[in-house]
Amino acid sequence: MKNSRMLREVNVHDAVGMVLAHDLTQIIPGKFKGRLFKKGHVIREEDIEHLLNIGKEHIYILSLEEGYLHEDEAAERMAAAIRGDHLELTQPHEGKVTIKSAIHGLAKIDKAFVDAVNSMDQIVMSTIKTNTPVEPGKSLIGTRVIPLIVENAKISKIERLALEWKKEHPDEQIVTVKPFQKLKVGLITTGGEVFSGRIQDKFGPTVRDKLAKFGSEVVEQRYSPDDSDNIVREIRYFAERETIDMILVTGGMSVDPDDRTPGAIAKAGADIVSYGTPMLPGSMLLMSYLTVKDRTIPVMGLPGCVMHDPFTSFDVLLPRICAGERIERRDITEMGYGGLLG
């Protein structure tokens, strides 16, 4: 094989003074896994015992020929080809480069591009899922190749694919992190039992906590009985305030005749994207947009499960809205696959 001519096998006892061609990993079960020796390390007499302890009776000396790349350079070029805004690249480590978030925001990764790259033999691009909220330092993508040596043509092909993708999507990036916007939210809690003070509101604290995770806040909470006209008035109250970026209406989302929230949102003039999602819990969520003058405000009807289930359809859509995205019908449709959570 071509690669075998570029790699010369040397017994460790004869390797003192020679240079390692790649990182060597040590694994101590339950205690440690990491790099024992780095690529480029000059082997010393005292290293021989350590090499034998990790099962290395031979090492490889590398002599690259034209048209071939070391795994480190290949991983670096792959990562550089797809890198977008708000990202950082690590140095190669054991043949891998990791793309990490530099900010708190929403990870955006084009699955079709990643699939195209991974369809190539001996190429690895491993990612988290798109639309995942991430903190600074969170890993998004790891790039590497399987062999120690890879043809330059393979990496050049990935670079060409990236350039073609960018030409076809001039306003997008293959991988990036969208920063969260600090939204001012108007919260309407419906239900005669809460409005009358018969029971304590549990929605407000829960919604506030969820918004705070993305830097947004409830600026005012108002209460309404299960009366359609009254709910409409409260929605319009918030819609007319230029400082309000989103309106959340909690409760009254079931098929019970006394639950009037969906009808009231529609009556207020909102464009309904979807009443219902193919996700459990959270199937009764309503997603809509209300246009007032030159502003379009997201209006959501939240089902009762938001109060007591840790993760619902609201938790899927909220970070996207906080990142400035508009939710379309196809986004709702796609929530069904993998959407059975309990």
What pLDDT shows up at residue 257?
55
CA–CA separation, 95 and 144 (whole Å): 6
- What is the token pair recorded at 18? 């020679």
What pLDDT shows up at residue 258?
57
CA distances from 33 to 20, 29, 95 (A): 19, 8, 15
Low-confidence ranges of the chain (pLDDT < 50): 1
CA distances from 282 to 14, 177, 247, 266, 315 (A): 65, 26, 18, 19, 9
Q: Tokens 């549990």 identify what position?
A: 202
User: Would strands 32-37 and 24-28 be described as parallel, antiparallel, or unpaired?
Assistant: antiparallel
CA–CA separation, 290 and 32 (whole Å): 55
What structural domains and CATH numbers belong to the chain? 2-62 (3.90.105.10), 68-178 (3.90.1170.30), 184-333 (3.40.980.10)
Closest CA to 120 of 81, 86, 148, 151: 151
Q: Tokens 């991974």 identify what position?
A: 118
What pLDDT shows up at residue 194?
76
What pLDDT shows up at residue 1?
45
- Return all residues near 42 (Cβ < 8 A) that are at least 6 apart: 17, 18, 19
Tens of pLDDT, residues 72-121: 999 999 999 999 999 999 999 888 999 999 999 999 999 999 999 999 99
Closest CA to 144 of 67, 190, 77: 77
pTM: 0.87
